[in-house]
């Protein structure tokens, strides 16, 4: 494994599970010093154990925090700076799917809940991490959008609005910070098999989530789900110097699904 992140301080939100945990594992193997942020303290402990299973001497700070709360966001940014003195990379990734429903039944409360985590949380993270990176004059951010941030999927008003918003935030800030040595990109994953997607299949068919999953994936050109490590590889690339001229890009990682709808 190459060592593109030796000594580099990387913050990952949603680091306890799915895409965040897989990316943490990949970056630790490449020498990164990690700050993992999540609502779930138990999940963070399990993630640390898994990462150290693969990279015994991994440097990891954990912060239990809610990305939608400004004081929590300041706390995780401060924790990373106090542990490592700087923030070189930020995977702004925590998110929820929300309950699936037709727009007329979606409810304002559910809309507000999904927006507060998936959009306000991403903005707050950028706002506070960018202050650190601006002062350093360097850094890279990857925001997690979704295929649902570039296409209509259905039954996901809050999620779609938030993820389209993440795409807009990414482009806007990338244009602002390009001249300051900071690159900002977003990924748009398709169907990646994580606890979030498993839960989504239970919403479609509570009795037979595996069957719903099989049917769902037939629309994908590859006829399979993506694996979290396949997202981690792209995020690692975008956070690394290999992507030094990639800025304001929204990268689908979806087996070609977004080209087909």
Among residues 9, 61, 120, 144, which is the contact residue for ligand NAD, using CB under 6 A? 144
171 by DSSP, 3-state: which?
helix
11-24 per-residue burial string, b: 16 or more CB within 10 A, e: under 16: bbbbbbbbbbbbbb
Token pair of 151, please? 């296409």
**Shortest Å, Cβ 259 to ligand NAD:** 16
Question: Tokens 């070189």 belong to which residue?
Answer: 88
Among residues 9, 35, 68, 257, which is the contact residue for ligand NAD, using CB under 6 A? 68
- Residue 78's contacts (CB-CB under 8 Å, 6 or more residues apart) are none
**Shortest Å, Cβ 33 to ligand NAD:** 20
159 annotated active-site: yes
Residue 230 phi, psi dihedral angles, 5° rounding: -75, -25
Determine the size of the site formed for ligand NAD (CB under 6 A). Answer: 29
How far CA 21 is from CA of 80, 100, 154, in Å, comes to: 17, 25, 28
CA 151 to chain centre: 18
**Shortest Å, Cβ 191 to ligand NAD:** 5
**Shortest Å, Cβ 120 to ligand NAD:** 10
Cα 84-89-90 angle, rounded to 5 deg: 105
Among residues 31, 35, 36, 38, which is the contact residue for ligand NAD, using CB under 6 A? 38
- Between 195 and 234, how does the x/- string for binding to ligand NAD read (CB under 6 A)? xxx-------------------------------------
- The footprint of ligand NAD on residues 42-61 (CB under 6 A) is 43
18 counts as binding ligand NAD under rule CB under 6 A: yes
Token pair of 124, please? 């707050």
> Which of the residues are catalytic?
159
Residues at the interface with ligand NAD (CB under 6 A) = 13-14, 16-20, 38-40, 43, 66-68, 93-96, 117, 121, 144, 146, 189, 191-192, 194-197
């Amino acid at each position: 494994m190459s060592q593109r992140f030796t000594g580099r301080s990387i913050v990952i939100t949603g680091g306890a599970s799915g895409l965040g945990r897989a990316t943490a594992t990949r970056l630790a193997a490449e020498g990164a010093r990690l700050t993992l942020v999540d609502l779930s303290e138990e999940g963070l402990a399990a993630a640390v154990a898994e990462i150290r299973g693969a990279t015994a001497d991994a440097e990891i700070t954990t912060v239990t925090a809610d990305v939608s709360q400004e004081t929590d966001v300041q706390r995780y940014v401060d924790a990373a700076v106090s542990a490592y003195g700087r923030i070189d990379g930020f995977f702004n990734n925590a998110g929820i799917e929300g309950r699936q429903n037709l727009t007329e039944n979606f409810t304002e409360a559910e809309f507000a809940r999904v927006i507060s985590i998936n959009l306000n949380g991403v903005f707050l993270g950028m706002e506070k991490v960018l202050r650190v990176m601006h002062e350093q004059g360097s850094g890279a951010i990857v925001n997690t959008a979704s295929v649902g941030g570039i296409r209509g999927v259905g039954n996901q008003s809050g999620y779609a609005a938030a993820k389209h918003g993440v795409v807009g935030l990414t482009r806007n800030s990338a244009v602002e910070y390009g001249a300051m040595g900071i690159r900002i990109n977003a990924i748009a994953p398709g169907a990646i098999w994580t606890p979030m997607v498993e839960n989504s299949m239970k919403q479609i068919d509570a009795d037979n989530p595996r069957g719903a999953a099989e049917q769902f994936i037939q629309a994908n050109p590859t006829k399979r789900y993506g694996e979290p490590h396949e997202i981690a590889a792209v995020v690692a690339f975008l956070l690394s110097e290999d992507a030094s001229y990639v800025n304001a890009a929204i990268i689908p990682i979806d087996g070609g699904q977004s080209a087909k709808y």
